[in-house]
Amino acid sequence: MLYAFVLFPLVGALAAWVIPSQRLRPRILPVVGAVHLAITLAVLADTPPLSPEGWVGLDPLGKIVLLSISLLFLACAVYAVGYLAYRQERSNRVLCMGVLVCLSAMTLVTMSRHLGLLWVALETTTVSMAPLVYFNKNARSIEATWKYLLICSVGIALALLGLFFLAYSTIVAGQIEPTLLLDPLIASAGKLHPAWLHAAFIFLLVGFGSKMGLAPLHTWKPDAYGEAPGLVGALLSGGLVNCAFLAVLRVYQICAASGAELVFFRNALMALGFVSMAFAAVFMVRQTDFKRMLAWSSVEHVGILAVALGLGKGALFGALFHVLNNGLSKGVLFLSSGNIHRSYNSKTTDVVRGALRRLPWSGALFLAGFIAITGSPPFSPFLSEYQIVSSAFMQGSGRAGAAFLLLLAVVFIGMASTVLPLVLGDPPKELQASEYRERFLTVGPPLFLMGIILMLGVWIPEPLLVLLRDGAALLEATR
């Protein structure tokens, strides 16, 4: 059942390969996206049992990430139909296939119970996204693709070494069956050899951290996000980031079970998280390229996630909720910024002004997305960030809480100084008319995501609340 769920986007990819028509091909995406969301909701309500050999199964952590990916993908898929209609000059075969292969791999990431399988799926997401970053086929996008491919590949190779160390720690410890299956590892975490476990955690954190884009391993991020089309940026920042974060969560679970390593791992996460937020705060100020600005916002938010994991306890709930909120808000921002980019044919603030006048829907969505992502009520990122900050103060780490708030404020000011002139005021007079018109297909998807964020900010459905609590309970230290 779950295997079929992983494989069916690949059938879509095959169909995208076979269909000769430029115009019809993108329509596969919403079909696959809608079916994917339907199956996701079905397996969330009625979870299939673990596969017999224990490799594939869904737990609350996987479910949260699966839900965020599925919602985001459906929005991106519908958007793709509208977007690609404006890009008839380029073949969209590779884009359609890459997106679907990536969806399959992301689904596999969420349900892997074997860390080796998780690694393979994660690396597949990296490779399948590379040709998509290069969609615009110019000198700048090739540079971005090269950096993305090389840094992520090397990073994820180091994570493989970390996995080997983890497996070796079971061998050195003796008495335990050597394995990389998650459940036996968690069960026997206390008996693993501590030195190898320590080395494993360092390499896993560096490896998955570079894929997530935690500073100082984030250097590929502004380039790749800046040059990729909006919908690819949305999938990178809301899909791949969440998958890499799930990998970090798996490592965290083993840490929490081993007990001894947890303090070290938490401190390391906290440090990397604050460094990421600080980098983002510095580079966000006076950023003239709004897509790069969104990339820095992504660096900031993976920092927030890392800090929340580092804090532990009540912040864990906030972290898991933020996974969902960040992914969906990034979807709103990247999709609406794609529209703005299309209409102005530029992504720098010296040309792009007065977006609210020129593009009332996309401009408003971009503004609303900015308000949401910076953590203002009534949107849901406010709730998750509030949860994290209040947990920091309740645990008595007031300094961490204060630093967190300060960095959020700096980021808010930095981002506002780019976003506000961009959406407000009058469009430049010398600007040529563009063929881009606001249509349902390009405005509807970000509107749909914005609606979810607003809803979650006001009211969290009971099943989701239970899911988040169960997930946080899995991450709590058991010893």
Binding site for another protein (CB under 8 A): 114, 116-117, 119-120, 123-124, 126-127, 130-131, 134, 137-140, 142-147, 149-150, 153-154, 157, 160-161, 164, 167-168, 170-172, 174, 178-180, 193, 195-196, 222-223, 226-227, 283, 287-288, 292
Q: Nearer Cβ to another protein, position 119 or 370? A: 119
How far is 328 from 63, CA to CA, in rounded Å?
A: 15
DSSP symbol at 242: H
**Residue reference for tokens 């008319």:** 433
Q: For residue 3, what are its two tokens?
A: 């295997």
Q: Nearer Cβ to another protein, position 157 or 460? A: 157
- Report the nearest approach of another protein to the CB of residue 408 (Å): 21
Backbone angles phi, psi at 436, to 5 degrees: -70, 130
Q: For residue 311, what are its two tokens?
A: 């804090």
How far is 32 from 28, CA to CA, in rounded Å?
A: 6
Q: Nearer Cβ to another protein, position 337 or 442? A: 337
**Residue reference for tokens 């984030």:** 218
Q: Nearer Cβ to another protein, position 166 or 257? A: 166
Q: How far is CA 31 from CA 21, 27, 70, 73, 90, in A?
A: 16, 7, 12, 11, 22
Q: Nearer Cβ to another protein, position 52 or 174? A: 174
Q: Nearer Cβ to another protein, position 151 or 270? A: 151
- Report the nearest approach of another protein to the CB of residue 225 (Å): 11
- Report the nearest approach of another protein to the CB of residue 338 (Å): 19
Q: Nearer Cβ to another protein, position 220 or 361? A: 220
Q: Nearer Cβ to another protein, position 33 or 222? A: 222
- Report the nearest approach of another protein to the CB of residue 289 (Å): 8
- Report the nearest approach of another protein to the CB of residue 318 (Å): 30
3-state secondary structure of 348: strand
- Report the nearest approach of another protein to the CB of residue 467 (Å): 29
Q: Nearer Cβ to another protein, position 223 or 385? A: 223
Q: How far is CA 369 from CA 113, 364, 429, 469, in A?
A: 34, 8, 26, 26
**Residue reference for tokens 């063929």:** 435
- Report the nearest approach of another protein to the CB of residue 196 (Å): 7
- Report the nearest approach of another protein to the CB of residue 75 (Å): 27
Long-range contacts of 290-293, Cβ-Cβ distance < 8 Å, separation of 24 or more: 290/337, 290/340, 290/347, 290/348, 290/349, 290/352, 290/418, 290/419, 290/422, 291/225, 291/226, 291/227, 291/230, 291/233, 291/334, 291/337, 291/341, 291/347, 292/222, 292/225, 292/226, 293/415, 293/418, 293/419
- Report the nearest approach of another protein to the CB of residue 94 (Å): 10
- Report the nearest approach of another protein to the CB of residue 158 (Å): 8
Q: Nearer Cβ to another protein, position 137 or 429? A: 137
Q: How far is CA 399 from CA 59, 165, 194, in A?
A: 34, 35, 31
| Helical axes 60-85 vs 241-258, angle rounded to 10° | 170
- Among residues 343, 334, 362, 332, the alpha carbon closest in space to that of 423 is found at 362
How far is 307 from 400, CA to CA, in rounded Å?
A: 9
